[in-house]
Amino acid sequence: MSLLSIASDACCEAEMPVPIERPLAVALDRLSPAQRELLEDLLDKARREPMNGLRRGQLGMAYETNGYPRAALMSYRQAEELDGQEPKWPYYQAFLLAGRGELQRALDALDRSIRLDAKHVSSWMWKGTWLIELGLVRQADDAFSEAKGLGLGWAATAGQARVLLHQDRSDEAIAILEPLSEESPFPSVFQLLGRAYRESGRLDEARISLARGKSAQRIGWHDDRQEAKRAYEVGVTPRLQQAQRLILLSKTEQALPILEALVEAKPNDERVINTLSNAYVLMGREDEAFAVLRNALEQFPVHYRTHLNVAGVYENRGDWKLALQHIDAAIRLNPTVSLPYEKKGLLLQRQRRLVEALDAFELALNRNASDPHLFARAGDIEAILRRWLDAIERYRDSIRVDPSYTLGHIKLGLSLARTGQFEAARNALSVAAALDTHERDVQEALAFVSGLEHKQNSK
């Protein structure tokens, strides 16, 4: 074997001519029957029409979405050779190259795509994003400006703010991010604003903004070309994700046929069962929702989430005994997760079995000490029992875990007021007000604190 024959893939891809005479075939043994059928069909079509760029690009999309990135990249390059007027083929190459860390090659491919379609907004956004990663911030700013000029809103403005931060112009970044945070209050915007505040020395404002932006969400925008690849996803998970997306978009009626077909194919898939049940509930078909859950338990009595969903139905019907039985069944099936204990605590709290409820929340916290709601739920029991100092500690724990948890600050303020710590109470409520998520609750809490203070001073 020659040295040339064992050169790296990257070297070969960079230097060898694209072999457009035949589609690339790969071993499909690891795929499901549905995936194999799809890819074999597309490969056959590409072979029968060897000079058709669309067929070659469709094969590339199927390869990419089903886990063959190298074959996808080669197929996209072949598609570009066959059909040099289609901007999608170099665009898709750019993503695969960027995923391998080859950002300059990705930008070269993206530029070829932009030359064919300079009005594609996502192309400019990705160009700006990758240019920032290469440290070419002035060029990145030009790209984000192009995207903004084409009508993209908050994401393009956030991109421009990123450029300003990379140029150490934090005050200018703040000037555009503050109004943007009002118009588009996404976590990624607050992350940028918090960073800008911090770099400007405004640390208290930075802490609050960073808390509001605690989610790992990145700056995002709709990309029609990436969405087009979803047509080549097969198997349970992609179709389930498609149905879940439709439900989030309030298109539950479109999700139902997908879920009903999935539950026929995979009657033992807990994710499908519970999503279908939820879809029926959203459509107002509660009896069918309950029937799906009951049938699943009768056939496959091993799903702890299904037991929890059945418990919820019984709880809504007022049958707390049966609800508790199903929650306990969920705990037996999966004793290491916090959710069943939390559900048990809430049900016991409804029944005024407060000490037992507190024990259940403690067990939940033993399994998940990173959820601020669990600390607050335990604090709520302490507050009902009028054990204010214990409640204060629980609420403080909730905001230590998550400084952006507004209700934790509000409940802390109310509990502090109960012990006569009115100044501390107002401080807690001022943080809640700055988080700007529960304005009415904050105003009511402030009024309660003032009333309680006035009452105590009048004695």
Query: 């529960």: which residue's tokens?
Result: 438
pLDDT in tens, 345-393: 999 999 999 999 999 999 999 998 889 999 999 999 999 999 999 999 9
Q: Measuring CA to CA, which residue among 292, 239, 234, 230 is closest to residue 262? A: 239
Residue 54 to residue 46: CA distance in whole angstroms: 9
The residue ranges of DSSP E strands in 359-401, in sequence order, are none
C-alpha separations of 347 from 330, 375, 424, 440 in Å: 14, 17, 33, 27
- The CATH class for the domain spanning 16-165 reads mainly alpha
Give phi and psi for 62, each to the nearest 5: -65, -40
Angle (deg, nearest 10), helices 422-435 and 203-212: 60
**What would the CATH number be for the domain defined by 388-459?**
1.25.40
Computed over every residue of the chain, the mean pLDDT equals 89
pLDDT at 19: 53
Q: Are 144 and 132 in contact (CB under 8 A)?
A: no
State the average pLDDT over residues 181-198: 89
Q: Is the pLDDT of residue 270 over 60?
A: yes
Q: Which pLDDT does position 412 carry in this prediction? A: 97
Whether the predicted pLDDT of 253 surpasses 70: yes
Distances (CA, A) of 327 to 74, 227, 307, 310, 426: 52, 39, 6, 9, 39
Rounded Cα distance, 52 and 79, in Å: 8
> What is the tens place of the pLDDT at every residue in 31-79?
888 888 899 999 999 999 999 999 999 999 999 988 899 999 999 999 9
End-to-end CA distance of the chain: 98
Residue ranges of domains in the chain? 16-165, 166-215, 238-300, 388-459
Question: Residue 131 and residue 336: Cα distance in Å, rounded?
Answer: 45
d(CA 323, CA 307): 9
- What is the per-residue pLDDT across 410-432, written as a single tens digit (0 to 9) for each? 999 999 999 999 999 999 999 99
- Examine domains 238-300 and 388-459 and report if their fold is the same: yes
101, pLDDT greater than 50? yes
Q: What is the mean pLDDT of residues 273-285?
A: 91
Indicate whether 215 pLDDT > 70. Answer: no
Mean pLDDT of 107-114: 97
pLDDT at residue 107 in the model: 97
User: According to the model, what pLDDT value does residue 12 have?
Assistant: 41
Is 229 or 407 the better-scoring residue by pLDDT?
407
pLDDT tens for 192-214 read 999 999 999 998 888 888 888 76
Classify residue 13 as exposed, middle or buried by CB count within 10 Å of its CB (0-12, 13-18, 19+).
Answer: middle
456 exposure class (CB count in 10 Å sphere: 0-12, 13-18, 19+): exposed
How wide is the angle at C-alpha 167 spanned by C-alphas 164 and 168, nearest 5°? 90
The mean pLDDT of 173-201, rounded to a whole number, is 91
Reply yes or no on whether the pLDDT at 4 is more than 70: no
**Amino acid, res. 405:** Y
Q: Under CATH, to which class is 238-300 assigned?
A: mainly alpha
Amino acid at 443: Q
Q: State the residue for tokens 């094969």.
A: 59
The token pair at 259 is: 């879920």
Would you place residue 13 in the very low, low, confident or very high pLDDT band (cuts 50, 70, 90)? very low
The token duo for 239 is 């179709």
pLDDT at 181 over 50: yes
- pLDDT at residue 246 is higher than 60: yes
* Lowest pLDDT segment from 163-167, 216-220, 347-351: 216-220
As a residue count, the chain comes to 459
